[in-house]
Structure 1
Amino acid sequence: MWRCPLGLLLLLPLAGHLALGAQQGRGRRELAPGLHLRGIRDAGGRYCQEQDLCCRGRADDCALPYLGAICYCDLFCNRTVSDCCPDFWDFCLGVPPPFPPIQGCMHGGRIYPVLGTYWDNCNRCWQAGNHSAFWGMTLDEGIRYRLGTIRPSSSVMNMHEIYTVLNPGEVLPTAFEASEKWPNLIHEPLDQGNCAGSWAFSTAAVASDRVSIHSLGHMTPVLSPQNLLSCDTHQQQGCRGGRLDGAWWFLRRRGVVSDHCYPFSGRERDEAGPAPPCMMHSRAMGRGKRQATAHCPNSYVNNNDIYQVTPVYRLGSNDKEIMKELMENGPVQALMEVHEDFFLYKGGIYSHTPVSLGRPERYRRHGTHSVKITGWGEETLPDGRTLKYWTAANSWGPAWGERGHFRIVRGVNECDIESFVLGVWGRVGMEDMGHH
């Protein structure tokens, strides 16, 4: 099946700043449209190279047709940016472009522009789009600031799996969504901003849902990622990355408060800045339970109850086992590899599209992330084949993807999403069932 969403980098509306600052009085070229003002870059790319054009100085005739407009291959381009041909920098100057190209898809010798869904042999592509949260960011920065789960050590990856056995003849439904089985107990996607803390956000998200489900709705907290980011400091790096096993250990042994009590402080890209200090500690109160030793850092909230979980367990990587666990006990946490095209996901059933295979290494970087799987489904393609998928919540806010969620191909370990899946039980006693 051919899938066509773009590849490369996070999209920039950008060179507008450069072009608008160019010298006035450019005569005829003043009329040239600002090809790059909205970050438009043609994936075809080989304009100057195909014509072997690289004119010295400013030569207005050193131009080629470009997507219904004109682009230039003369050295004056270097000062204007907005009307250069896509390969001017690579071919004429031998340097990377001043901003990353947005790739289209090459298929059958034809280039398909970005931001669309195309049909070929009756197979559907997933859709890509431009996310304003990523404007001005390079792929390297996206991987450094928007992910943040450190791949588990070999000893953790070898953690004993709990195998869920399907009863003889047991048939799982073709579609399931946790929010339909447990209305009002499944929380909306979070937003980690430019904090590489998906280790804390996905852990808090899964624990929030599971505490709510296992307390039969008596407790429905949105648990605090900031509590983990600031206080779980043993071999963790806060907004510069962390480990899932350490996060779950902290939730079991120390516990965290709600997000209302200890809200996310956010963190812009300041590598040198100190991490916010821990504002919430807990002490043992018998029978393994904990209580807070401080008031909420947020002065408007008094409820500083500590929420805990039981020991985390790892599921088998068979999709049927993951499905059964999800349907019986609630959303699960999954590790996944994020590639360059995932940042551009807007809708549909995602699978990694290696459109940047021929590009330099800097366009093909990827990193480890963690998300909350909430359900599954399948879609019948027009040619009669069935495409199975997971539904999952990301932590890039509601504007990304399908209202903060995404769908990804199921059953083939796409992007390693089935390789390390964790479940946990909320620690709920009889006393918790009454006073909340």
Structure 2
Amino acid sequence: MWRCPLELLLLLLLAGESALGARRGRGRRELAPGLHLRGIRDAGGRYCQEQDLCCRGRADDCTLPYLGATCYCDLFCNRTVSDCCPDFWDFCLGVPPPFPPIQGCTHGTRIYPVLGTYWDNCNRCTCQEQGRWECDQEPCLVDQDMINAINQGNYGWLAGNHSAFWGMTLDEGIRYRLGTFRPSSSVSNMNEIHTVLRPGEVLPTAFEASEKWPNLVHEPLDQGNCAGSWAFSTAAVASDRVSIHSLGHMTPVLSPQNLLSCDTHNQRGCRGGRLDGAWWFLRRRGVVSDHCYPFVGREQDEAMGRGKRQATARCPSSHAHANDIYQVTPAYRLGSSEEEIMKELMENGPVQALMEVHEDFFLYQGGVYSHTPVSLGRPEQYRRHGTHSVKITGWGEETLPDGRTLKYWTNCREEGYGACDNS
């Protein structure tokens, strides 16, 4: 049976009523789509007055545009089914309208009914009685006041608006854009692997892994609104290490989705996870390539299984057939010595790091990032932080205008290259 939308059926009925009225000789105009049987939709407006338009009798060209429809300023519109302009009665006739206008609120060029809403970044504004707007007061991930304060404060980096974060609250940013649990005490107390510098060895002031190992250090993947940095950073570092230590014979981009979906022991997928658990899974079970098992932005119930060299299940992607399993040797913990981390990176490839992310990090656009105090004078809900894991690919130094030297690590963001203060 053929069905039509309710709105179309309503218009057909109205048109039919109008046609019937014309046949009876009543001479009524069709009700314009922007109007309704109870009269005007908004709380007012100087339509007839601004145009000084009041026509006698019926004058069908005595009209003005009105909310996408047409309203009239002639005496013929003084009837029950109203297509009058909002100020017809008081301006043209000098009397109150025969029915009260529907109250509403104005925002920009639009008029909203009572309880109508619009979004102001991450906050919903609702129209109340007497034309008053009531808006939520959630701190937003993109905060123009904070952007201005950072850029005016000479903190060594530039802030800006990332469109992907527009409309998200700060709480959502902390919950959905990070995603690494703090390590347990057993992991924190692991013995450190110390890299010994030779007597008189001087490390370069700048280094980038992609320059030493071209085509073997991969571009980072975007984790989107999945709190899975534990999986993304682990897969990214493992991808580079496999490529470097196989001398380029294997250059896989390993699958974060494989970890998100299959590493479920004490892990929470896109709601956060542990780095030690991710490395354990890579060592004991292994993962396939991102081409075989691409990122979908959530956990999937897809058990790949482990064969001797291939997964026991087919690739979830229909465009890939090579379901090779990649495994790694046991992970190890580096010391906190700046020089030892640099030497490890320069000799063996990119390393993984934990960082404390504060509310201003989401606004980073360029320069050497360090946490700023711009939110200290604001309410507590504007000051949030969480734990993030990243891949570090190099380091460098920058000379500030006052002559100070600022050291930094590179590639501290999963979406692209950045720099983080390592002083």
Pairs aligned (count): 314
Separation in 1, partners of 2:185, 2:45: 61
Aligned mate of 1:189, from 203, 220, 226: 220
The amino acid across from 1:407 in the alignment is A
State whether structure 2 residue 246 is matched by structure 1 residue 234: no
Q: Based on CA coordinates, which of the two structures has the bigger radius of gyration?
A: 2
Paired AA for residue 97 in structure 1: Q
Fraction of identical pairs, as percent: 72
Match of 1:363 in 2: 382
Q: Structure 1: 5+ residue runs without aligned partners? A: 1-21, 42-56, 59-75, 82-95, 106-111, 268-274, 398-403, 412-436
**SS in structure 2 of the partner of residue 256 of structure 1:** coil
Of residues 390, 393, 408 in structure 2, which corresponds to 1:389?
408
The match for 2:328 among 309, 314, 317 is 309
Residue 279 of structure 1 pairs with residue 303 of structure 2: yes
Shift of residue 337 of structure 1?
Answer: 0.8
SS of residue in 1 equivalent to 2:418: strand
The residue that corresponds to 2:133 in the other structure is 78
Q: CA deviation at 1:234?
A: 0.6
Residue 211 of structure 2 aligns with which residue?
180
Q: Secondary structure at the match of 1:127?
A: strand
Which secondary structure does the structure 2 equivalent of 1:405 belong to?
coil
Query: What is the match of residue 337 of structure 1?
Result: 356
TM-score by length of 2: 0.68
Q: Give me the whole-angstrom Cα distance separating, in 1, the residues matched to 2:374 and 2:42.
A: 37
Which sections of structure 2, spanning at least 5 residues, go unmatched? 1-40, 51-104, 111-117, 124-128
Counterpart Cα distance in 1 of 2:166 and 2:157: 21
Q: CA deviation at 1:326?
A: 0.4
**Secondary structure of the corresponding residue to residue 246 of structure 1:** helix
Question: Could you say which structure has the greater relative contact order, defined with CA pairs below 8 angstroms and 6 or more residues apart?
Answer: 1
Residue 14 of structure 1 aligns with which residue? Answer: none
Query: In structure 1, what is the equivalent of residue 137 of structure 2?
Result: 97
1:292-336 residue CA offsets vs partner (Å, 9 max, x unmatched): 111111122111111111000011111111000000000000011
Counterpart CA distance in 1 for 2:392 and 2:132 is 48
Give the letter for the 1:410 counterpart: N
Aligned to 1:298: 317
1:26/1:387 Cα in 2 relative to 1: closer, same or farther (>3 Å)? farther
- Counterpart CA distance in 2 for 1:141 and 1:231 is 25
Over residues 22-45 of structure 1, what are the superposed CA-to-partner deviations in whole Å (9 max), with x where a residue is unaligned? 9675779979899x998699xxxx
Query: 1:171/1:31 Cα in 2 relative to 1: closer, same or farther (>3 Å)?
Result: same
Cα shift at 1:103: 5.5
Shift of 1:354: 2.0
Give the counterpart of 1:198 among 229, 233, 241: 229
For 2:332 and 2:107, the matched residues in 1 are separated by 63
- Are the aligned partners of 2:121 and 2:167 in contact in 1 as well (CA < 8 Å)? no
Aligned partner of residue 226 in structure 1, secondary structure = helix
* Cα distance, 1:363 vs structure 2: 1.3
Structure 1 residue 113 and structure 2 residue 127: aligned? no
CA distance in 1, matches of 2:322, 2:316: 11
Alpha-carbon contact 1:190-1:394 (below 8 Å) kept: no
Matches of 1:321 and 1:334, distance apart in 2: 14
TM-score, reference length from structure 1: 0.66
| Structure 2 SS opposite 1:335 | strand
